[in-house]
Structure 1
């Protein structure tokens, strides 16, 4: 381009610029006369000016030739092609070369997905990929990666493709390689292949399970990650101790338990028949069932004289029966003398009344060798016939008759009798059944009146004692409200003077477990599937079938193997706490299993799981009145806990469980485990020596560890916000330190979209800096009840008001025009951590920043969407 000043003869018509135009077309249609030159349909790209101009050298008579290069962007283009036009209106110039090109993102393999060549249509375009061999998409979604206009790929969406079972990630997540022999991977996921558990092996690549070696097995309930084990060896040193017709068996444990902890024993009995050959034992009584024995002893009664009994003790474990492995056992023969008395027969009823039975029986005949067979006395065993677990009573009498007294009227009683000689007791007789008489209505009337009078007087005395106790409690507690007490020990609570006891105040914490949690027989519980993972082990769904009760679903928390005694105490402490609570909005404890491995806590099963994830899965599906109903249930449960002076410390939507009827129940009473160092959960941040869920915790609890019912009220306000925003994360992606600083500066969360103004005001009341100014849970329940009774009040939604509930970037934020660069502006508004994301995405000028949309935010980093929601 020639400089106009060096060619004065050109005059005013000289130009140092030219214009570039293009005409879009779907075919080559141009002629000498078409398309006709006009500003429209020709589209102007730009006016081009040279950076370096050529100046004529008069003395040399030549010119200093220096060329310029300009790069211009055309578009957006929708047609198949276009024509270019260069309009020169007086410039002295030469176009040396024109290069027309476009950029494309090359085919690539990333994050276990392959993406094809992609041409960017605009600033950014999304491209769908396909999972590599041996991988599959998570949640049914195809992997997506963004192609930028400069031909570079942006970061792909994480986690869209994962390796299937039997394969693991390799070469920077570009392929899924089969697990080598000797290793396995049991399920889909990001975890690498594992070495085969002990006593198992895999001989081919891509194994999803390691098969047990010969002679080793897994039980039906064992996971594929469990080592293979074998049946135990035989019990040792069986010893018998005879006492009349009773024998006590005792033995030592096997030398080899088979590598399992579920060892148990069975005792099998046979007797030698008179005609020859062994038959199963008959007419014997076992103190406890001879199957599934945990203790190494058993008492058997009812042995008959001159009969050879064979007792075989078997040692078994979880793999003894499921795999058909032979159980190892030791045998012992037992025979008793013939001098024991014969069995008693002919029990008859002499008389009966409403409360007694008079009985008589035949004196047993002498044994063949009567030297020690004279009957000294008799023992009578009797119990109520129709009871599932009757109380057995015993009576001794020197004669062959007796009277059973203090019986219940019109009740069937089973009676057995045995005789005793110098050699010991003989066998009990067969069971005989007798019934007491029915009460005479005329005789019963005075008794009823007497009982009624006694009950009336007793009730009056109890009422007087209760009134005195309440007055004493009120007088004693008038100087300090128990709700704000910081002592974790014992309290009188509510109007029923119920006592909450901290299990950690027990010298032996196991005693608290025995007192507050019911021990459940392991055979009553059947685990069906793993539904999650807890701090101490897996969380499972299963069934609980207690004899005499209906079978129902339960949730089962297990304590993983290799635990310390301290971990066991902390695990069971939650059951000790939970077992003291009985409220429809508090998770119900069914019981614990501590006598078997693994140790378990059994609670009711909540079909819809945690509240936060349930709301996210059903975003927008519930009406405000339904959400308020959920909040009312949570507040009712917390009111109950506050009345018991129990401080939850970790009230959050993730710790609220929802059943199939949308009833919300407070759960997770184990925050004490997070007060120890070492937790890696990002939700819980170390603060003054303990782990605290910062986003849900009141300022005084963060700063001074001042946990009270009022700090739970603060957490309840956060739960309200989570519910009304359908499970959104409080304070979005702000760091925990940013949250602490913002609250310290009186920032409070804004109202979620379409949130009723009354609910947001209640949230703000819960977030008062002064804890004494926050409402109590009783007042919160009352306020929610008023809203439920007046649904019209829920139609008034919140508008953004100036004050403490503003968005982080409000009118006080400095305007970007006062800064020289985007980076300087980001640091001024305390968002400097996003500077690299802006630069990578190409947002380096304020004109580009003003064009930010949600699509661009996905490229620059998900953190940008939170503080600028509805603002840019």
Structure 2
């Protein structure tokens, strides 16, 4: 692209500001003799005269045409250049026509030469520099456009010449006559410059032109007051004619200020108006229910009783809390309640109203005293954040009075100091069947009988009429039943030496409760003589009674202690395990069901003696303290390298609980792709957690340091290991909630192991970690989290699958940040509009297709981790499938679900590398 073409384009972008001239010397304004230096004395002569306006001027004349070999020099005084690089000389002169002069030799001239000589000071003399072309620099030979004769008056010619670049402090002009008859009327020396101007809210100073006529001189600008830079650097180019060209960079008015004076100033917004963002926009009146009396406001504060949610834009109206729900209807079915209600009459000006259910159990005859319901009461779909206007409440106690508060809340309810508005409904539950019998004990067995005993149900829900005992031979389906009036029974007519499966359930007027968990008992192989039984019957009965009393006492004590040590949520969890978990299958237990965190950590983690641990060096910093590398040498075991997490001094009890919770979680896992816990040191200071040492650290930083060094097969092998670890965790009913490449560790054999079990969920609300956001309550890594988990806190194995898809993208892009430098809010908006991450560079098509399946909006349609492991195994066995690479651009988001017409396409501002941003500056998202 040529310079002329560039200037022609830029002239369309910026109105041309014509340059100005500044004079360095002008002989026309001399009021005394010029007294310039001449050589020889018989050459140039200073003469006074008048210009066309009859103003006196000083001129120099020469006319030695009749003498051959003329070489007459005239030199001006020293002219300081004032830092300019190129100057212009304007000469006014007249020349006589040689043909009009009679009897002259053939050496008559009608031209003269212009020279200059540079110097750092006024050092020229009558003989220095020498009167010859070198050291003078010739500018040009000057010829007139018109000459004159004696018959007509003199014709004045004007010529302009320029020269440069100049480098010394100043210069002299010199005029050489070689035999002309002429008059030098005036000589003016000047330079051109671009005058001070304002463009794009930036001020550019006065700037002299460059050394060449085609030079472009860069002038740096500065934003006008109350403006800020939006693109840098700020600069304009001054061309050789003193015109501003080629604008680069721009400023814009700050928030609270609007353009004025033809976009040359930024003036403050007047009271009652605001401007929330920087830019060319103008101030706007305050939104409803907000006001400001200050100038230059970028936000109108809400009036009393009105608020904005954290996600609301500054130009949105202020809103308030909703009124109470209307028309609450309840329906009682034994110990369950169905609730329905209508939306509030006033939603506070918002559309994000949800509902909370507060359950309270009230005492009969207690003056209406009510307390919160136990944690085993089940509210479906959930207690908090209900989008639906109905709920089902189960597991209530029979014949009990309850009060339910249905609260209406919206996006600003958390801002209001008042309690949310609610509607109340009071109900009393009906009769219900008893709960399950907790346990069955075998008191005595003979060859044909079994004496059984059991504890009554924890929730009898009325008077127990009798118990039903069901038993059958192990391995056979046909069963028998007998009844008993009390919590013990003797089952007769059994086979000798046979195993039986036994269950017991209780009955009230409401019907039978659930059977107890099946237990296995066996009869004796040999029968006792009848006489012996009769002889020892009193002793047997007495011993059995005493033993039964002791066992009952021990069971009661154990149950009481267990209830004191564990919260109600743990008892509920234990009941669910008894009902729904297959015996022999290991299931993850949440350590937070333990009232004392020491009990959980000692149950699931091994205590290590301090003498076995040696800390060698600090390798990083964790959320609760330093992370160190060390050695672990336990008796009878080989010394191994370990990672050691420390709990910093001055910790709170909550921090200690959260710190030990990770060890309680890790201690339950045993898988080659899950980080292994060696043990804990809870009796030392500081408290330590010891895990296996992963030489290559976190996966994301490891990939960035080794960008492009691994083959696709190696990367898929890493992904297979991560998926295998997550399959194991999901089968244990553990939901990670923070699966990301930064939470996957890599050892020296490139084996990837899932880590960081829970720490990210315990970050304080004032944490400055930009990876997590608290705008929706709690800390959520937005870029890795499924949309239902962000919106509704629905964390499941399906949401972990979504996060795994992001990890796949991180691995295949060698640690690139998901969604580049988009803000968390932009990421949520893009995902909600069905935009998905594009395939990384050189990513096989089958892998990106698997990512898109992990990012399906319907969580039930996403693949399970077991299916992901199987898919990756097939790809590793069929390497050819990994050679087909997608052709989509790696810097554009994909929109799943159809293609829009071109005029409806949206463009997203994305991050990435500088090259990627430049390539995408005018690129639309790709749709598939």
What is the TM-score normalised by the length of structure 1? 0.48
TM-score of the superposed pair, with normalisation by structure 2: 0.45
Specify which structure has the higher proportion of strand. 2
